[in-house]
Amino acid sequence: MENGDGSDASEQDWYISRTHGVYHIPGCAKGEPFALLIIKARGDALDLGENRRFPFTITARQIAEDLLQDLHDHGIFICEGARPSSGELATARREGFYQKLITEGDTMWARGHSFREISDLHRRATMGRGVEREWAYVPMRMGDCPACGEKVKIGVAVCRHCSAILDEEKAAKHGLGAGAAAARLNVNGAQSAEKKSRA
């Protein structure tokens, strides 16, 4: 690959310094959907001492990947073609928006650990990015136990408050309830009958 095309879907300018040069990644101009930085292959050399140098080439793709490794969260990416596709731009904007919401959520949480300030949009951003945050818990659906009326998780076999069996089949699978006790009696009865017949 001769050129590496980096695209910025944010309005932020970035300056990144490397041994082979300083790179300016421009932000989007007002009204423009993106800014483009064309990166070309560069040469560098290792100093081996005693006036010996080992020259090598760094490809445009390697430079682009190195420069952008920590900037993907900010809407900056390497485009596959000469210009970014509408799909690449949409993904970069969404990721940038999610990151902004997550940062906002972190700030609000740091101020007072209050779940009230955190919106569903902030929680959805963490799910969209696949990151975990203490403030991004998703409340679990709960139901009422028909025996004691306390809140229990939907689909549990036994009420944790009063030990009532809520799902007979599931409870029996896990060795709980009357069904499991009957199964144990049948197994024990069959084993003792087998022992008697051997004797």
Q: Indicate whether 22 and 74 sit together in one domain.
A: yes
Give pTM, 2 decimals: 0.46
Q: Indicate whether 75 and 16 sit together in one domain.
A: yes
Q: Indicate whether 116 and 179 sit together in one domain.
A: no
Residue 49 pLDDT exceeds 60: yes
What's the pLDDT tens digit per position in 14-28?
Answer: 888 888 888 888 887
- Contact yes or no for 39/5 (Cβ under 8 A): yes
Q: Indicate whether 152 and 112 sit together in one domain.
A: no
Query: What distance in Å separates the CA atoms of residue 159 and residue 105, rounded to the nearest whole number?
Result: 35
**Range of the structural domain that residue 55 is part of:** 3-81
From residue 67, give the alpha-carbon distance in Å to each of 9, 20, 37, 39: 16, 12, 11, 10
What's the pLDDT tens digit per position in 51-72?
Answer: 899 998 989 889 888 888 877 7
Largest CA distance in the chain: 95
